[in-house]
Amino acid sequence: MVPGQGPGPVMGCSQLGSDKMKTWNKVASAGAGLLLGTALAGPALAQTVITLDTPEVPGSLDPSKISDAGDYALAVNLYDALMTVLPGGALAPELAESWEVNEDATEATFFIREDATFTDGSPVEASDVVYSYDRLMRLNQGPSNLFAGVVESVEAVDAKTVRFTLSKTFAPFLATVPSIFIINEEVATANDAGDDAQEWLATNPAGAGAYLLKDGPSGSGIVIERDEDYYGGWNESPIDEVRWIVAPDDSTVRSLAASGELTMVSAFRAPETYDALMEMGRFTQEDTSTATAYLLKLNTQLAPTDDVHIRRAIAYATDYDTIREVIYPGEELTGPLPPAFADFIPEGLPAPEFDMEKAAEEVAQSSYAGAPIPITLGYVAGTQFEEEISLLLQSNLEQLGFEVTQQADPWARVVEIAGAVETTPNVNQVFFGPTYPSPDSMFFSQYHSDSAGSWTSMEWLEDPEIDALIDEARSSGDPEVQAAAYGELQERIVDMQADVFLLTLTFQLVMDECLTGYEFVPMQSVPSDFTRYEWLCD
C-alpha cells in the first residue's frame, strides 16, 4: 500500500506529513541560512530554547574550580549537589533526600535518593560524594576554602549514606553543602590522566545535573540541552535548550537583542542597555533585590584612612542618591548585611547620608586637617560605573581638600594588591555577596583576621574583638546567640566606618515575556538553575 493514496492508517498519514515537513524545513533553513540568516538549529519542533548573553564562557566546566557566579551558573545546571538552596535561602533536598546533624553539630549524615542517577544512567552513591569532596580538597581551588580546617573527613557509611565529620562546631556548615557538586567517580577516574581528570572535566561534564552539554564550550558560547531522564523530573513546559552567547560589550548585547537572538539578558550591564532593551517591546523587566552589597572598602591601616574621622568624611562625601538613581541601580544599604538578611539586621542602624558640611567637620576633627590630604581611590579598570562613582567621589573629596589619585587596575591585579596593607588603596570599590546562604559568609570573609590579605577584606580590620564575635556566632548552634553576635558586629563595623555602604545591588533582570520562574536565590547571586524556569508561550 502506498502511503498517501487512499485512506491509509491515520498514523501513516501524519508521519508522512511530518516527514515532508521536516524535509521542507531543512531546505528552507539551508536556503535561509545562506540568504537571510535564520537560526540554523534545524527542525526545532516545539523546542523551547533560551538564549542569553554572557561576558565570557567559563575557562573550565570543572565544578571544583568554581570561582565566580558565571562558573556557578553553568555548573548548577550540569551538576547536582546533595542539597540545594531555595529562593529566600532555605536549604532543600537535591541528591540527598534527607540528612541528620548530631547534637553538637559536628557530624552531618546525608541519605542519597534511591533513584538518583548520573546523566549516564549510573546510580549516585556515597563513594561519588567522597571522591568529589576529596578531589575538591586536593585541587584546593574554588569552594575548597569553605571547608579547609572545618571538615575533618567524609566517609561512605553505606552505598547511599555519607557522613561529614567536622573538626569543630561550625554553625553555617549545612549552608555550604550546596557548593559541593557531585562528580561521577567512575567516569572521572576512567578519564584521569594523572591530573585528577582536570583536563577531561574542563570540557566534559560528568554529573547528575538536569542538563547535558550539547555544544562548546568555545570562545563564542556554550549550549546545554535538557536530559529527559533527569531523576528529579520536569515541570510542564520545561526549557529544552539553553544557549549562552558571548557578548563582551553592551553594544553587542543590544545588537543581539535587536536581531531577536536573545531571550534573556545577563545582569551587570549598563542601565542604559536595559532601558534600550525594554524599548524593543518583547521583554519584561524584573527588578529584584539581592543579597549583594556594593561597598567602598576603606583601608583602616593606611594613612589617611586609618583615621576614623577621615573615613566618616568619605562616607559623608558620598552622594548615595546620585549613585543609586543615575549610576547604578540599588537599594539603601545600612551596614554589612543586605536586606536579604533582614532578620539579622538590628533596628536603628542609621542610614548613610550625603552631607558635605558634616564631611568638612569630620575632616577638621581629623589628625590630617590643615594640609592637602593625599588619598588613592581604587576600582576595577574598564568598569564604567565604577569609574563614574570614583570620579563623583573625587570631585567631592577635592572640595574637602583631598589630593586624589585614581587607581584603576584589572581585577587580577586588584586581587594581588589586596595582599598587603601598603599596596591596598585607601578606598576600594567591591561587590560582595554571600557564597553560601548564611550571614557568616558576609562577616567571616570580609572582617575576620583569618581572611586578611584577600580582596574580600581590604579593610584590614584585624580587630580581635570582631574576630571573637564572628567565632562566637560560628561555634554556636543557638540562633539567638548568633543573632546577638551578628547584631553587635554590625553596630561596631558601622560605627568604625570600615566601609562606605553604597547600596544593595538590584538585579535588573530583563527577559522574554514568555519566560517565567525567576526568583532570587542568595547564593552566587545569578539566576541560573533552569529546571526552575518555564516557558509560557507556544
Binders in 322-381 for other proteins, by CB under 8 A: 322, 326-327, 381
Of 205, 79, 221, nearest to 143 (Cα)? Answer: 79
C-beta closer to other proteins: residue 23 or 384: 384
Q: One symbol per residue from 220 to 259: x for binding other proteins (CB under 8 A), - otherwise; what is it?
A: xx-x-----------------x-xxxxxxxxxx-xxx-xx
In the complex, the smallest distance separating the C-beta of residue 346 from other proteins, rounded to whole angstroms, is 30
Residue 394 contacts other proteins per CB under 8 A: yes
Q: Residue 264 in contact with residue 511, Cβ under 8 Å?
A: yes
Cell numbers that stand for 160 in this block:
547511599
Return the DSSP state at 307: S
Residue with cell 567536622: 166
Residues 136-165 that bind other proteins (CB under 8 A): 139-141, 145, 148
Per CB under 8 A, the list member of 100, 215, 465, 519 interacting with other proteins is 215
C-beta closer to other proteins: residue 155 or 388: 388
Q: How far apart are CA 274 and CA 426, in angstroms?
A: 33
Residue with cell 583602616: 300
Residue with cell 558586629: 489
Instruction: Single out the segment in contact with other proteins by CB under 8 A; choices: 5-13, 167-175, 184-192, 415-423.
Output: 415-423
Q: Which residues of 78-89 are buried (b: 16+ CB within 10 A; e: fewer)?
A: bbbbbbbbeeeb
C-beta closer to other proteins: residue 124 or 146: 146
Instruction: Single out the segment in contact with other proteins by CB under 8 A; choices: 5-13, 14-22, 134-142, 430-438.
Output: 134-142
C-beta closer to other proteins: residue 21 or 41: 41
Per CB under 8 A, the list member of 21, 41, 90, 190 interacting with other proteins is 41
DSSP three-state, residue 134: helix
Per CB under 8 A, the list member of 122, 165, 301, 407 interacting with other proteins is 407
In the complex, the smallest distance separating the C-beta of residue 123 from other proteins, rounded to whole angstroms, is 27
Residues 460-489 that bind other proteins (CB under 8 A): none
Instruction: Single out the segment in contact with other proteins by CB under 8 A; choices: 362-370, 449-457, 488-496, 505-513.
Output: 449-457
Cell numbers that stand for 461 in this block:
580590620
158 beta partners:
161
Q: How far apart are CA 519 and CA 288, in angstroms?
A: 8
Q: One symbol per residue from 65 to 84: x for binding other proteins (CB under 8 A), - otherwise; what is it?
A: x-------------------
In the complex, the smallest distance separating the C-beta of residue 243 from other proteins, rounded to whole angstroms, is 5
Q: Give whole-number Cα distances, 29 to 20, 25, 32, 51, in Å.
A: 14, 6, 5, 19
CA dihedral of 181, 184, 185, 188, whole degrees rounded to 10:
-100
C-beta closer to other proteins: residue 236 or 422: 422
Cell numbers that stand for 215 in this block:
555544544
Per CB under 8 A, the list member of 6, 7, 37, 348 interacting with other proteins is 37
Q: Residue 76 in contact with residue 529, Cβ under 8 Å?
A: yes
Instruction: Single out the segment in contact with other proteins by CB under 8 A; choices: 97-105, 309-317, 403-411, 471-479.
Output: 403-411
The amino acid at 291 = A
C-beta closer to other proteins: residue 490 or 524: 524
Of 53, 368, 104, 52, nearest to 241 (Cα)? Answer: 52
C-beta closer to other proteins: residue 79 or 520: 79
* Residue-wise DSSP of 413-459: HHHHHTTSTTTS-SEEEEEE--SSSSHHHHHHHHH-GGGTTSGGGTT
Regarding beta strands 264-265 and 499-512, do their DSSP bridges make them parallel or antiparallel, or are they unpaired?
A: antiparallel
Per CB under 8 A, the list member of 9, 157, 395, 478 interacting with other proteins is 395
Residue 286 contacts other proteins per CB under 8 A: no
Q: Residue 363 in contact with residue 401, Cβ under 8 Å?
A: yes
Per CB under 8 A, the list member of 33, 87, 88, 370 interacting with other proteins is 33
Q: Binders of other proteins: how many residues, by CB under 8 A?
A: 87
Residues 47-66 that bind other proteins (CB under 8 A): 49, 51, 56-57, 59-60, 62, 65
C-beta closer to other proteins: residue 2 or 34: 34
DSSP three-state, residue 67: coil
Residue 506 contacts other proteins per CB under 8 A: no
In the complex, the smallest distance separating the C-beta of residue 362 from other proteins, rounded to whole angstroms, is 20
In the complex, the smallest distance separating the C-beta of residue 296 from other proteins, rounded to whole angstroms, is 16
Contacts of 523 (CB under 8 A, 6+ apart): 72, 85, 89, 178, 434, 435, 436, 437
